[in-house]
Amino acid sequence: MSTENAAATKMIRITDKEFLDLTTFVKSKYGIDLTKKRVLIESRLSHELSQRGCTSFQQYLDMVKSDQSGNEMTTMLNKLTTNLSFFMREKEHFIFLEKEVLPFFEKTRKNNEFRIWSAGCSSGQEAYNIAMLIDQYFGPRKGRWDTTILATDISMRVLTKAQKGIYTEQELSGLPATWRSKYLVPRPDGTFQICDKIRKEVVFRPGNLMEPFHFKRPFDLIFCRNVMIYFDAPTKDSIIKKFYDWTSEGGYLFIGHSEGIGSNSRYRYVQPAIYQRRS
Ligand SMILES: C[S@@+](CC[C@H](N)C(=O)[O-])C[C@H]1O[C@@H](n2cnc3c(N)ncnc32)[C@H](O)[C@@H]1O
């Protein structure tokens, strides 16, 4: 928004009742806890209200709830959640994958397949990063392996970016130089696109972690990093339970280093932010 527009947009205040309605609704449908984000809600949504001619948050929320297309809901969530992601985030996980998980799977897997889920994938960096690591690890042997990655998020905006796989030079700064030249294709406008080979390894889909999970088979690796920070303890417990049910025996769950899985979980602790379902 330009300074002029910002000045022209008068901040619309949220009442206590509207704040309660909005936070309860978002919490029950998406698990996202916004009860400490009053200022953020006002500042990030005020402009949306004005643009739609709404004079109160109640009017806006009614409109969001009644929009059958779900577009308004998506816009609201995009404004309220943080989609920050970057390549090589929490590098220890990639080291563990390369040194422990992949060699073990390669030795023990009979069907040459393992299933991976990036849950809360944002704009795709995590899923592509895993695909690059797997390609790098297997090298010429990769052709014998089916390692498709499912990547899901509630935000259509980030999924659209993820699917394109186009990043700026700055967004790629975490990647090793050799990976950049191997897996990224420069574009005329100065940005870079993930190469076809790696893009084909990832399937992006919309998905809300609050809803029941329906998959054909369990996953060997589930990454849900820096997503559950939004959820309160009961919501987190119930999502972790669902993850457990959809982790294969001996499979792993990776969470963000600033997150925990609580004490009720049946996962075995492996190392910080890595858990395993017992065989
Ligand atoms: C901070 S990003 C994390 C991205 C990536 N996992 C990483 O660690 O870099 C959090 C993502 O979780 C998504 N998210 C939040 N609540 C969700 C829900 N209920 N279901 C699915 N995705 C959700 C957000 O849309 C956002 O893209």
Last residue of a domain, one of 80, 109, 141: 80
**Predicted local confidence at residue 278, as pLDDT:** 87
Q: Tell me the C-alpha distance between 276 and 279, whole Å.
A: 9
Ligand 1 atom closest to Cα of residue 223: 6
Domain boundary among 31, 48, 80: 80
62 and 151 fall within a common domain: no
**DSSP structural state of residue 113:** B
Mutation test of ligand 1: which of 88, 159, 227, 228 has the most ligand atoms closer than 8 Å to its C-beta? 227
241 SS3 class:
helix
Q: Whose CA is nearest to atom 8 of ligand 1?
A: 225
Q: How many Å apart are CA 83 and CA 78, to the nearest integer?
A: 8
Number of domains in the chain: 2
For 29, phi and psi rounded to 5 degrees?
-90, -35
Which numbered atom of ligand 1 lies nearest the CA of 125?
9
The CATH number of whichever domain residue 34 belongs to comes to: 1.10.155.10
* DSSP H helix total and E strand total for the chain: 12, 10
pLDDT score recorded for residue 25: 93
How is residue 147 written in tokens? 């390692």
Give distance in angstroms: CA of 226 to centre of ligand 1. 7
| Catalytic-residue membership of 220 | no
Q: Which two tokens stand for residue 192?
A: 């870079």
Tokens 């995009």 locate to 78
16 domain residue, yes or no: yes
Residue 9 sits in which domain range?
3-80
Active-site residue, from 115, 135, 153, 277: 153
Residues, the chain, total? Answer: 279
Tell me, yes or no, whether 162 and 195 share the same domain: yes
The answer, yes or no, to whether any atom of ligand 1 lies below 6 A from the CB of 129, is: no
61 shares its domain with 124: no
Residue 264, token pair as written in the block: 């009720």
With a 6 Å cutoff on the Cβ, whether 90 touches ligand 1 is no
- 171 with 203, same domain: the answer is yes
**Same structural domain, 100 and 56:** no
Which of these, 87, 99, 45, lies nearest to 173 by C-alpha position?
87
Cβ–ligand 1 distance for 114 under 6 Å, the answer no
Q: For a ligand 1 pocket test, name from 153, 159, 211, 253 the mutation site with the most ligand atoms within 8 angstroms of its C-beta.
A: 153
Q: Residues 193, 187: contact at Cβ < 8 Å? A: yes
Sheet arrangement for strand 192-194: 166-167, 192-194, 184-186
The answer to whether 261 touches 271, Cβ cutoff 8 Å, is no
Of the residues 80, 115, 148, the one at which a domain ends: 80
Q: Which two tokens stand for residue 23?
A: 């936070």
Asked whether residue 167 falls in the same domain as residue 245, the answer is yes
For residue 130, give the CATH number of its domain.
3.40.50.150
Q: Between the CA atoms of 162, 164, 168 and 173, what dihedral angle is there, to the nearest 10 degrees?
A: 50
Distance of CA 5 to the CA centre of its chain: 31
Same domain, 69 and 185: no
Q: Are 152 and 206 members of one domain? A: yes
Beta bridge partners of 193: 166, 185
CB burial class (10 A; 0-12, 13-18, 19+) of residue 171? middle
- The pLDDT tens digits along the chain (279 residues) read 444 444 445 789 999 999 999 999 998 988 888 898 899 999 989 989 999 999 999 999 999 999 888 778 878 887 888 888 999 999 999 999 999 999 999 999 989 999 999 999 999 999 999 999 999 999 999 999 999 999 999 888 899 999 999 999 999 999 999 999 999 999 999 999 999 999 999 999 999 999 999 999 999 999 999 999 878 888 899 999 999 999 999 999 999 998 999 887 899 999 999 999 988
Same domain, 95 and 76: no
